[in-house]
Amino acid sequence: MISDPYLGKYITCVSARSTDKEILKKAQDGGIATTLMVYALEEGIIDGTIVAGEGDRPWEPKPVVAMSREDILKAQGTKYSISPQISWLKEATRSFGLDKVGVTGVCCQMQAVRKAQLYPINMRDVPGKVALTVGLFCMENFPYKSLQTIVEDHAAQSLGSVKKMEITKGKFWVHTERGNVATVPLKATHKYEQPGCHVCLDYVSNLGDISTGSVGSPEGWSTVFIRTKKGNEVWSKAVAAGMFETKPIEDVKPGLELLTKLAKEKIDKNRKTLEERRNFGVNKALRDPYA
């Protein structure tokens, strides 16, 4: 097991891409999150999974308990707004009757799943039923209204016309169905971030069984950390079944150097915010779990 102060604990890290052409068509990056859940469903490792599906308004995520390949695929792509995934955790075991639940979510949601497993207050059925967690890297997130302002006011695109959004190379990128590409410098988007993200000390979903994001790998590929015994079992079987192409992370550019740099920047900056809030008398109870 490797233990890194910024990248967390992991068994191995690779650069990877799904081999499923249909999944790749709509994937945000290498289609890892979707392919893993589809594979786990088809192999009986999970009997359903919580994903960030389509909400009522364009690009507004809504947690969904997906129990078919089709429903898992419908949730593809990154929606840069809050999807309260964990609100469905108890319901997945109760109303949906799942015994083996998958969860996809950002770093804070991986933390919430683990908390629910450790202290299952009002979540009695949950601890033994979480069968696979896939965490996403996450630098920041936006309330829906703010996302609307960024896309419609700053990037001058209608949300309904957007095909994909991404944050990379210091900009917020908006790609429309008709081929327009608009960018907004991140300097202009910072003020719209949800304030909770400014005290978040995880960039790479330390607590997922597997965690993934784009940073570190070439375009169209993903960086993948296999973190737990369970994650390793599922990943090894899926690779052996031909679900993914993989490359050693050391063989790709920009590799772990960039990922470490960004993780360190996030953690250092947010530790400062925590300190400022403590000094200001706000969030006195907030502790830095990594200190």
Residues near ligand SF4, by CB under 6 A: 106-108, 138, 140-141, 196-197, 200
38 binds, among ligand FAD, ligand SF4, none (CB under 5 to 8 A by kind): none
Q: Give the separation between CA 277 and CA 199, rounded to whole angstroms.
A: 9
Contacts of 42 (CB under 8 A, 6+ apart): 69
Output the smallest distance, CB 90 to ligand SF4, in A: 20
Q: Compute CA 123 distance to the chain's CA centroid, rounded to the nearest angstrom.
A: 23
Output the smallest distance, CB 41 to ligand SF4, in A: 25
Residue 149 or 161: which CB sits closer to ligand SF4?
149
Output the smallest distance, CB 253 to ligand FAD, in A: 15
Provide the angle, in degrees to the nearest 10, between the axes of the packed helices 32-42 and 229-240: 90
Q: Which residue is nearest to ligand FAD (CB)?
A: 213
What are the two backbone dihedrals, phi and then psi, of residue 88, each rounded to the nearest 5 degrees?
-100, 0
Q: Give the separation between CA 120 and CA 44, rounded to whole angstroms.
A: 25
Residue 199 or 278: which CB sits closer to ligand FAD?
199
Residue 45's CB: how many other CB atoms inside 10 A?
A: 19
Residue 33 or 238: which CB sits closer to ligand FAD?
33
Output the smallest distance, CB 53 to ligand FAD, in A: 7
Token pair, residue 164, equals: 């994909």
29 binds, among ligand SF4, ligand FAD, none (CB under 5 to 8 A by kind): ligand FAD
Picking from 34, 80, 26, 13, the residue whose alpha carbon sits closest to that of residue 216 is 13
Per the CB < 8 A criterion, the answer to whether 68 and 47 are in contact is: no
- Identity at 288, one-letter amino acid code: D
SS3 150: helix
**Residues at the interface with ligand FAD (CB under 6 A):** 27-34, 51-52, 61, 75-81, 83, 85, 104-106, 136-139, 141, 167, 212-215, 222
Residue 128 or 185: which CB sits closer to ligand FAD?
185
Output the smallest distance, CB 59 to ligand FAD, in A: 9
Residue 18 or 109: which CB sits closer to ligand SF4?
109
